[in-house]
Structure 1
Amino acid sequence: MNPGKNNPTEKTTEKPFVLSRTFNAPRELMWKAWTERERLMQWFGPKGFTMLTAKLDFRPGGTFHYCLQGPDGNKLWGKFVYREIVALEKIVWVNSFSDEAGGTTRHPMAATWPLEMLSTCTLTEKDGKTTLTIEWQPLNATEAEQKTFDSALEAGGMNQGWSGTFEQLAAYVEKH
């Protein structure tokens, strides 16, 4: 998705982070894993993190507001604001860190991490298996935020985080 086509005041990066993985699960189950609160709570987040609480209003303009607890006991709040939903195929949202009240906040460990990330999840099914592709890119980033994102992209840090999340999703769909 190129947000500039719909909203010329928005700015995204030239080189987004993209990660795909094929799961041994039908697309309908994968869709439910992304769109139902009880299911999201069982797998979403970096490996080793637990979701403590979540509120989900799954519709364009709706939000997913959640709290993750890391292995060290620290809590991280996050928020999705849904932009586009194409049933069983695509979800587009703006992702950010947040406070407990849902206000957008800076990354707790990286002050120059982009305040908002445009995220696109697509699902395609073939022979009972589903390929999930995540595209992640800074939205309206400052120069410093763009440099931080580009450095993380080159270092592979986002790949590690999303790969751990995908591992948890794979374990979830195998059980269901």
Structure 2
Amino acid sequence: MNENQIENHELILTRVFDAPRELVFRVWTDPAHFGNWWGPKGFSLNIAKMDVRPGGKFLGSQKSPEGHELWGKFVYQEVIAPEKLVFVQSFSDEGGNTVRAPFDPNWPLEIINILTLTEENGKTSLTLRGGPYNATQEERNAFEGMRPMVQQGFDGTFEQLDDYLSSQK
């Protein structure tokens, strides 16, 4: 994966967790952990498949408190335990076929995410870089327009991750 293929609309998020890097990596890659914290607050995650290796896939559905269900998938590009994960994220149907986001017909079909983990003094620094991948100008514009909401969504997800990591000590 050539990281230079990321387009200039990337979002960069950094967070420090009071947990060792191996544990943080494990909760990103082990379905027994991942389903306990990933996604928006109040949503549940059903994991249909999680094969974390280059070319492997994650397929799952999130259910809102009101019962709305959204399917999504990751296709893993690079997996270097315990320091790096690169995956392309898309909305999908139950079969894992890529579909348009239900909230915006111009939302990028693919979002690339590059997760890097570094550890110092038992704390893990997580950096997530991501943005439209193989996107049209309309898709890049849609991503740019929703950047604050994307960042807010990840902030909430990272809060859940922080709480979950605290419960694993």
TM more than 0.5: yes
CA-to-aligned-CA distance 1:63-91 (integer Å, 9 cap, x gap): 01011101221001010000011111000
Q: Following the alignment from structure 2 to structure 1, what is the Cα–Cα distance between the partners of residues 96 and 62?
A: 14
Match of 1:112 in 2: 106
Conserved in 2, the CA contact under 8 Å of 1:89 and 1:124?
A: yes
Match of 2:161 in 1: 169
Candidates 35, 43, 49, aligned match of 1:49: 43
The 10-residue stretch of structure 1 (29-38 or 50-59) with the greater mean CA deviation from structure 2: 50-59
Identity over aligned residues, as a percent?
46
Q: 1:35 aligns with which of 20, 29, 47?
A: 29
**Residue equivalent to 1:84:** 78
Q: CA deviation at 1:158?
A: 1.0
TM-score by length of 1: 0.91
Determine the structure 1 residue equivalent to 2:138. Answer: 144
Retained in 1: the 8 A contact 2:31–2:47? Answer: no
Superposition deviation, residue 22 in structure 1: 0.3
Contact 2:36 2:45 in 1 (8 A): yes
The answer to whether 1:127 aligns with 2:156 is no
Q: Separation in 1 of the partners of 2:144 and 2:2?
A: 18
Unaligned runs of 5+ in 2: none
Moved over 3 A (4+): 1-4
Matched, 1:102 2:96: yes
**TM-score between both structures, scaled by the size of structure 2:** 0.95
Match of 2:64 in 1: 70
Give the drift of 1:3. 4.2
Task: Quote the Cα distance in structure 1 between the aligned partners of 2:89 and 2:103.
Answer: 16
Q: Name the amino acid aligned to 1:168.
A: Q
Aligned length: 168
Partner of 1:8: none
Deviation at 1:54?
3.1
Distance in 2 between residues matched to 1:148 and 1:29, nearest whole Å: 35
